[in-house]
Amino acid sequence: MIRLIFKRLLATVPVLLVVALVIFAVLRLTPGDPAVLVAGDSASTEQIEEIRRNMGLDQPIHMQFTQWLGRMVRGDFGTSLISGRPVSELIADRMGATLSLTLMTLIYTLIVSLPLGVLSAWYRGKTLDRFVMAGSVVGFSVPVFIVAYLMILLFSLELRWLPVQGYRPLSAGLWEHVRHLLLPAMALGTVYIALITRIVRTSVIDTLNEDYIRTARAKGVSE
């Protein structure tokens, strides 16, 4: 098992290198000079060249890629050209909200999709099953941003149950924290609910057709 995991991790290294190369190429081939952006419109040619040297833009392209990749491996993502703060600090500032939203989306998805999948399998071929499967198709088909707009219209503007935007940390209170996360979690969880519901439905149907289920029914065991 450990050897298999190690082989899979090694197999991801070339993929990551290719992805890093593509990202670097896209950033470097994008029109515009980062040094000019940092220096501003009123900067002189000498100032722009000094900034290019400080940023390493005067080096050959392969040297730039090597240094960029080395800093990425060490966790040094550079400095934001807009705020002037390290990118790692900007990521850390938003990590709490991201993890909270991820956890909320996971909880909401499981709470909704598992019962729906079981009920759909139990009432296979009936009205409830057809309704759930139709909802799954809609969940797969409608883009998430459309679902988000519809939920904002219903839950925020019409019913006024949930806020349109904003984030409250857990220190502001559990209900306020959950209340501000619930609407985006519901929008993000739509496609996952559609997927997991169908998976659960298929699994439960397969289980209901197993020999031990038929044997239990033949012995008179209640549903």
**Domain map of the chain by residue range?**
2-76, 91-218
Between CA 106 and CA 183 the distance in angstroms is: 13
Nearest to 189 by CA among 100, 99, 109, 103: 109
Provide the residue type at 149 as one letter.
Y
Between CA 20 and CA 37 the distance in angstroms is: 23
Between CA 134 and CA 140 the distance in angstroms is: 10
Between CA 120 and CA 131 the distance in angstroms is: 9
Output the pTM of the full model.
0.70
Between CA 199 and CA 161 the distance in angstroms is: 32
Nearest to 97 by CA among 173, 155, 180: 180
Residue 1 has pLDDT above 60, yes or no: no
Mean per-residue pLDDT of the chain = 84
Kindly report the number of other CB atoms within 10 A of residue 112's CB atom. Answer: 17
CA 59 to chain centre: 36
Residue 44 has pLDDT above 70, yes or no: yes
pLDDT digits (tens, 9 = 90+) for 151-192: 999 888 888 888 888 888 888 888 888 888 899 999 999 989
Between CA 208 and CA 186 the distance in angstroms is: 30
pLDDT digits (tens, 9 = 90+) for 112-130: 999 999 999 988 888 888 9
Between CA 23 and CA 32 the distance in angstroms is: 16
